[in-house]
Structure 1
Amino acid sequence: MTQELGPLARTLSVPYYEDALPAHDQFHAKRVRDIALRLAGDCDGSVDRDVLAASAWLHDIGRPRERAGAIDDHDEWATAEAAQLLTAEGVESDRISRLKHCIRAHSIRASSPEPETLEAKLLFDADKLDAAGARGLIRLACIVGERSGRTDEKYAVIDDASATDLETSDYPDIGLLRNWAQERVDMLYTHPGRRLGRRRREFMDEFFTQFAGEIGVTGER
């Protein structure tokens, strides 16, 4: 293999994202790659940046298939698919094994294993941090839209149920985004990840204060 692993994974991953919705598209994969490498630069331990970058590009390649109902678990599918792709390109088996663990452990699902390597922890943190801060909140709103857009399903309302005189709804409100984002920030593994998470949490606190003011809860002028 002559091409570096990170750029190779990017090339291999792009076709899988062609049918992806905004929350899990190739731009999400790039942001996760960028955040992961940024965190790696602040880590004390040794990081295989190529494995880290490659796992970021490939971690969500199964999302479009999962959304379409073709597979049940995008983590498991992407792990196997990435291994096949990289094996065909002559990537060393030990690097493929490390990348597979990163992909398999990046999710917060109960079925996902705990990330054990530093690369896996950095990928996990980067993926969760892309659901926090300004871009993260937009991304989470996109996920709400995806779930609300399913046939005959309404998932959530972006409002504040405590501040409306309309009939109350059984659907989650804006608090869902706050809870999702805070849950992810609370789960971060690495020191640089937690440090960045604190800064993004501060922004989100300001955002939700502003949100409440705009709908009259705090008396916006």
Structure 2
Amino acid sequence: MNRENFELLENFMLECMGDSAHDKDHIYRVLYNALEIADTEQNVDYDVLVSACLLHDIGRKEQFENPALCHAVVGADKAYKFLVEKGFAVEFAEKVKLCILTHRFRQNNTPQSIEAKILFDADKIDTTGTIGIARTLFYKGFVGDPLYSLLPDGHVSDGENDIKPSFFHEYKYKLEKLYTRFYTKKGNEIAKQRQQSAISFYNDMFSEVSSSYDNGLNLLDKVLEQE
């Protein structure tokens, strides 16, 4: 891919990006993760891969405005239309479209090409480790979700069986389970290297807030009994 085409796609991506959890910096991290993975694979079409990485989240705005939409589906169609309009070959645009369409984890829509598998892994890597924690906290704050929920007895829930959204719920529901869902060897290695930092962050936060509530509730009972 020449620099002119890269900047064309990059500028279109910048026009489409919005929220802080899925901003331009997320796109660049995914791209760099993908290039690191691709360096260990064979027969990678770098033009397809770089294009798909740059454009994979351009449907986020539409999904945020209408949660019934899937950003992967919307983004795939937007990317295909943009590439064809800018003179790229239909066959090339179709390959990029399929990569974007399958980058989101769905059992019935899995990536098939090596470029699609690399994009999938590169995107998921950015949800692992401390960067994944930070992005989740950004998003939870943006939509107004709390860090944790309380149990009926007033103690802090670990998020495991929560129904209401929170950071702890998102960790147990999604972040904790990410580390076995990679298609490439390199992607799996990078994710595993980051896993312990995420575990430590969650455990430390849960310990801190739990001890505060556990001790505080007991002390409050003693104070109220003295009245």
Alignment equivalent of 2:208, drawn from 210, 214, 220: 214
In structure 2, how many angstroms separate the alpha carbons of the residues matched to 1:110 and 1:122?
Answer: 17
Alignment equivalent of 2:83, drawn from 65, 82, 86: 86
The number of residue pairs the alignment matches comes to 207
Structure 1 residue 216 displacement after superposition = 5.4
Alignment equivalent of 1:185, drawn from 179, 185, 188: 179
Structure 1 residue 6 displacement after superposition = 3.5
Q: Contact 1:62–1:78 at 8 Å: present in 2 too?
A: yes
Evaluate the alpha carbon distance shift between residue 198 and residue 77 of structure 1 in structure 2; reply closer, same or farther with a 3 A threshold: same
In structure 2, how many angstroms separate the alpha carbons of the residues matched to 1:108 and 1:134?
Answer: 20
TM-score computed with the length of structure 2 as normaliser: 0.79
TM-score computed with the length of structure 1 as normaliser: 0.81
Structure 1 residue 136 displacement after superposition = 1.0
In structure 2, how many angstroms separate the alpha carbons of the residues matched to 1:4 and 1:114?
Answer: 31
Structure 1 residue 186 displacement after superposition = 2.0
In structure 1, how many angstroms separate the alpha carbons of the residues matched to 2:13 and 2:68?
Answer: 17
In structure 2, how many angstroms separate the alpha carbons of the residues matched to 1:70 and 1:213?
Answer: 34
Structure 1 residue 41 displacement after superposition = 1.3
Within the alignment, does 1:102 sit opposite 2:91 as a pair?
Answer: no
Look up the match of 1:128.
Answer: 124
* Residue aligned with 1:72, SS: coil
Look up the match of 1:158.
Answer: 147
Q: Contact 2:21–2:135 at 8 Å: present in 1 too?
A: yes
Q: Deviations over 1:153-206 (max 9, x none)?
A: xx5x314757x8458785355253244123232211111011111111122122
Structure 2: gaps (5+ residues): 212-227
* Residue aligned with 1:215, SS: helix
In structure 2, how many angstroms separate the alpha carbons of the residues matched to 1:71 and 1:12?
Answer: 24
Q: Contact 2:156–2:210 at 8 Å: present in 1 too?
A: no
Structure 1: gaps (5+ residues): 150-154
Evaluate the alpha carbon distance shift between residue 53 and residue 75 of structure 1 in structure 2; reply closer, same or farther with a 3 A threshold: same
Task: Give the root-mean-square deviation of aligned CA atoms.
Answer: 2.9
Sequence identity, in percent? 27
Structure 1 residue 145 displacement after superposition = 3.0
Q: Deviations over 1:31-78 (max 9, x none)?
A: 1111111111122x2211221111111111111122112972222221
In structure 1, how many angstroms separate the alpha carbons of the residues matched to 2:56 and 2:66?
Answer: 18
